[in-house]
């Protein structure tokens, strides 16, 4: 199974931010959508990522003044990405090795999706449960 298959059922645009947005505005965006990170984009291209972890580090270093800083100055630049053809298990492995929880999905230099480690784990569990049910049905017949 691929990352593209997970994205296939999704509708709507990826929640994202721009480099000129303030940290305060992005915190509101994270809270409003109940998400832990956003890709930072210019046009269709991803230029960074901003996560809860970035916020914690920023607040520790700069205190409340950090809230008025531009995202482009404080985001994680050159984030780890994947393409829609990557296998889910490979993406999980990459996220575990790099100790990241969010993965922008890029196709031909364009941001096409955004997945969290929770999305991928849920997908794997759903598949395992479906396989187990199929085995039980096979054995019962």
Where are the domains positioned within the chain?
Answer: 3-140
Burial code (b: 16+ CB inside 10 Å, e: under 16) for 33-66 equals eeeebbbbbeeeebbbbbbeebbeebeeeeeeeb
Answer whether residue 90 shows pLDDT above 90. yes
Answer whether residue 103 shows pLDDT above 90. yes
Residue 38 three-state SS: strand
Average pLDDT of every residue of the chain: 92
Answer whether residue 131 shows pLDDT above 90. no
Could you tell me which of 62, 40, 49 has the C-alpha nearest to residue 100? Answer: 49
Read off the pLDDT of each residue in 94-104 and give the average, rounded to a whole number: 95
- Residue-wise pLDDT for 107-130, tens only, equals 998 999 999 998 898 888 888 887
Answer whether residue 104 shows pLDDT above 90. yes
Answer whether residue 82 shows pLDDT above 90. yes
Output the CA–CA distances (angstroms, integers) from residue 94 to 45, 55, 88, 102, 106, in the order listed: 21, 23, 10, 11, 15
**Rounded distance between C-alpha atoms, residue 140 and residue 33, angstroms:** 44
Assign domain 3-140 to a CATH class. Answer: alpha beta
């Amino acid at each position: 199974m691929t990352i593209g298959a997970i994205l296939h059922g999704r509708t709507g645009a990826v929640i994202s931010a721009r480099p000129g947005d303030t940290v305060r505005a992005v915190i509101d965006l994270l809270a409003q959508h109940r998400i832990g990170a956003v890709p930072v984009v210019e046009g269709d291209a991803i230029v960074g990522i901003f996560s809860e972890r970035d916020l914690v580090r920023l607040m520790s270093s700069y205190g409340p003044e950090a809230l008025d800083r531009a995202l482009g100055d404080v985001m994680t630049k050159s984030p780890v990405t994947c393409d829609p053809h990557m296998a889910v298990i490979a993406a999980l492995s990459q996220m575990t090795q790099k100790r990241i929880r969010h993965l922008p999905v890029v196709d031909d230099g364009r941001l096409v999706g955004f997945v969290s480690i929770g999305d991928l784990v849920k997908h794997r569990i759903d598949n395992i449960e479906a396989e187990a049910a199929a085995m039980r049905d096979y054995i019962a017949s």
